[in-house]
Amino acid sequence: MKLRPVILPLLAALLGGGAVRADEGMWLYSAPPREQIKKKYGFDVADAWLEHLMKSSVRFNSGGSGSFVSGDGLVITNHHVGLDALQKFSSTEKNYVRDGFYAKTDAEEIKCVDLELNVLQSIEDVTLRVNAAIPAGVTGNDAALARRKIFAEIEKESTDKTGLRSDVVTLYQGGAYHLYRYKKYTDVRLVFAPEQQAAFYGGDPDNFEYPRYDLDICIFRAYENNVAVKPAHFLKWSEKGAADGELTFVSGHPGNTSRLLTVPELEYTRDSALPYTDAVLKRREVLLSAWAARSEENFRRAREDLFSIQNSRKVRDGHLAALQDPVFFGAKVTAETNFKKQLADRPDGKDALAAFDRIADAQKIIAGIAPRLRLLENGAGFVSDSFTVARQLLRAGDERPKPNGERLREYSEARRESFEQQLFSDKPVYTDLEILMLSDSLTFFVEQLGATDPVVQQVLAGKSPRARAAELITTTQVREVAFRKQLYEGGSAAVAAAKDPMIELARLVDPEARALRKTNEAQTEIKQQAQAIIGKARFAIEGTGNYPDATFTLRLSYGPVLGYEENGQKIPAHTTIAGLYERSEKQHNKEPFDLPPRWIAKKSALDLSTPYNFVSTADIIGGNSGSPIVNKAAEFVGIIFDGNIQSLSGDFGYEDVQARALSVASPGILEALRKVYEVPTLANELVNGHR
């Protein structure tokens, strides 16, 4: 793990407290860093420019970003973001993940099973309204319930009024609350995907490395009322791409960062949360790799899960390496100590210092319940689609009769349509893979809690984990969509009467799971209230020119296209198509560096000097995958698909000496579409903006 070189550049930012350095930041669209960009690059971030970019950007509910790139509803994202959809309508006979896909006509476009796209329309600060709903002096469970009620009230009120998906988002760890309204698209159809070997060239060995040679793209079309969407905003395609040193912007949905956490929270992350997650991911990687190697069909079925696990494992390894480095972590401790010293000298500093203590106390309680919370509420003991659906049916029956504000948040009225779309998805679920995953997770469940634990004994019902898993998976009916709809519409009475074994398992563990969740939410509420006090003090000392941690909501990042130096070697910003063939030749065209047959056949037709991938200093994190990267004219010059290995510490801090955001270059995409895949109609739509 080559993280050590980034530690020293990070120290300046970390020791400087919350002050932003270099081109750092995943900025709110409601508070862009206009002054910093103007001062450094001489570019004015105009309101119209910002609105256009915002309404051209797309969020994928499968966990990534994208953008509209034509006036006829084309949406581009990464192949690995579209992989979820590709996997769901692939089969033994038609393996779109392996072989790729292109729809020559609208009629040939394949409708995605349960994909939802969100396009941000507006942001409203509702902090005062949310905080006013929490009675003075109330904390813990009562405050958590009050906050849940006001969230549900605001979201339903907004949804009813606007017809838009409405989410109250927690920012600054509880220092602010904003209402995000989204235009939602649920009729999304696949237009084009390359072979995964072209999209993920170099496989796991090259993941998070650079130079890279990936065509990591997937193109969909959004529809409404069975007609292709005509978006008012879409990104014009740049045929020349971005030059070295050129300022670029990234508009995407970074998943989450932990830059504002306190030292006790980071200690818990380092010593408990990350080691646990890392161990679980490595366990599942071994399990799935062995199972996938048994047959081509097994590999096809496990491919998406295995890809996700391998990717996540590398990310967590990078996070853990950063927090285990005494220099890096010591800088975090020093920054917090310096901030507390500043607080001690201020008249209002006493409350903020006490808030730090409350966070530490709450974190201890969370750490104490974490082992059982992970297994029971988070579902690590019951990994299978069948258990997930069974719990959703059980809880929907219990939650829907309650007043909207008293329900668990995922069952609120504002989330109902999205919830039902997922619940009634007819995606393929494979019995053999379900038994494999549930058997292993039940084994893990026993290992973690011990065979004599009363809940363990009740769950296993006198059988081995393998036998119990096979019994549950082969006898449950929850994988049948008609059965799900029947129970969902019939409510708790129908759910109880069904006596489905998987639902009854969910019922068995539900009381303790809910109790653990309630405790966790109460302590999280305590931390959020404390963070609000700390945030207010931080704003008073450092000003408001800062950004909150990522929350899988739309953010703006920026930075130039720029190479870097590693181990004494200069790494150019761009790779070319020629480099792809050179990489293959040096590796003797052996997996995972083998070229798809069509790439070999079309080599002579290509302009090998065409830019293919490139890097920039933009501040990104997981969830930014598929984000458009644009120039000052808001033209599409590339698409984010990865970060290099030095960027993995970015969850906790930013640096721009070696850490880089990786993108597929717009000229390389066009060259491949026109000369390798020979789809000129699609390429022309991207360039012209219309069919």
Close Cβ partners of 187 (under 8 Å, ≥ 6 residues apart):
111, 222, 223, 224, 226
> pTM here?
0.95
106-132 residue pLDDT tens: 999 999 999 999 999 999 999 999 999
Residue type, 383: V
Close Cβ partners of 463 (under 8 Å, ≥ 6 residues apart):
471
Report the relative pairing of strands 564-566 and 661-665 from DSSP bridges: unpaired
Q: How many domains does the chain have?
A: 1
Whose CA is closest to 119, among 253, 302, 285, 5?
253
Tell me if the bond preceding 211 is cis, omega within 30° of 0.
Answer: yes
471-506 residue pLDDT tens: 999 999 999 999 999 999 999 999 999 999 999 999
C-alpha 563, offset from chain centre:
26
Rounded-to-integer distance, Cα 246 and Cα 359, Å: 43
Beta carbons of 66 and 269 less than 8 angstroms apart: no
Q: Is residue 410 part of a domain?
A: no
Q: Rg of the Cα trace of the chain?
A: 25
CATH at residue 607: 2.40.10.120
Q: Is residue 56 part of a domain?
A: yes
User: In angstroms, how far is the first alpha carbon of the chain from the final one?
Assistant: 47
Give a three-class secondary structure readout of 33-100. CHHHHHHHHCCCCCHHHHHHHHHHEEEECCCEEEEECCCCCEEEECHHHHHHHHHHCCCCCCCHHHHC
Structural domain containing residue 629: 4-116+186-259+553-688
Q: Is residue 76 part of a domain?
A: yes
Q: Is residue 358 part of a domain?
A: no
Q: How far is CA 361 from CA 204, 295, 353, 514, 685, in A?
A: 40, 51, 13, 22, 57
Close Cβ partners of 275 (under 8 Å, ≥ 6 residues apart):
320
229-258 residue pLDDT tens: 999 999 999 999 999 999 999 999 999 999
Rounded-to-integer distance, Cα 190 and Cα 464, Å: 43
Q: State the pLDDT at residue 553.
A: 98
pLDDT band for 3, please (50, 70, 90 cuts): very low
Q: Is residue 494 part of a domain?
A: no
Rounded-to-integer distance, Cα 505 and Cα 488, Å: 17
Report the relative pairing of strands 574-576 and 611-616 from DSSP bridges: antiparallel
Residue 359 φ then ψ, to 5°: -65, -45
377-428 residue pLDDT tens: 999 999 999 999 999 999 999 999 999 999 999 999 999 999 999 999 999 9
Beta carbons of 195 and 596 less than 8 angstroms apart: yes
E-assigned strand segments in 345-475: none
Q: Is residue 641 part of a domain?
A: yes
Rounded-to-integer distance, Cα 281 and Cα 604, Å: 42
pLDDT band for 7, please (50, 70, 90 cuts): very low
Rounded-to-integer distance, Cα 379 and Cα 112, Å: 27
Q: Is residue 18 part of a domain?
A: yes
What six digits make up the tokens of 549? 């941690």
Q: Is residue 622 part of a domain?
A: yes
